[in-house]
Chains A and B, each alone.
Chain A
Amino acid sequence: MQRQQLNRYVIPAVQWLLGIQYLLGGLNWWFKIYPFPNFFEVPTGPGKHAVLDAMIATGWMFTSAKIIELLTGLALIFKRFVPLMLVVSFPVAITTFLVDAMILGDLLSWLRGDVSGGYMWSKVMDMIFFGGAVLAMHGYLMIAYFQYYRPMMVAKAEGRAP
Chain B
Amino acid sequence: MNVASGDAPTRAVRWKRSAFHALGAVALILGILSTGWLVGMVDQWLIPWSSLSLTAPPR
Contact = CB atoms under 8 A, between A and B. Distances in A.
B31 A17 contact: yes
Nearest to A48: B56
Interface in A22-46: 24-25, 33-35
Given A14-B27, A133-B30, A137-B27, A115 B37 contact: no
B38 A13 contact: no
A17 B24 contact: no
Interface residues of B, number: 29
A122 B28 CA distance: 21
Contacts of B10: none
User: Which residue among A18, A35, A133 has the maximum number of chain B CB atoms within 10 Å of its CB?
Assistant: A133
- Chain A: number of interface residues, binned into ranges: 35 or more
A129 B41 CA distance: 14
Interface of B: 17, 20-21, 23-24, 26-28, 30-35, 37-39, 41-43, 49, 52-59
Given A17-B28, A116-B59, A139-B27, 9 more contacts: A13-B28, A13-B31, A14-B31, A18-B35, A21-B34, A21-B38, A24-B42, A133-B31, A139-B23
15 contacts: A3-B21, A7-B21, A10-B24, A21-B34, A33-B41, A116-B59, A119-B57, A119-B58, A122-B57, A128-B30, A129-B33, A133-B27, A134-B34, A136-B23, A140-B23
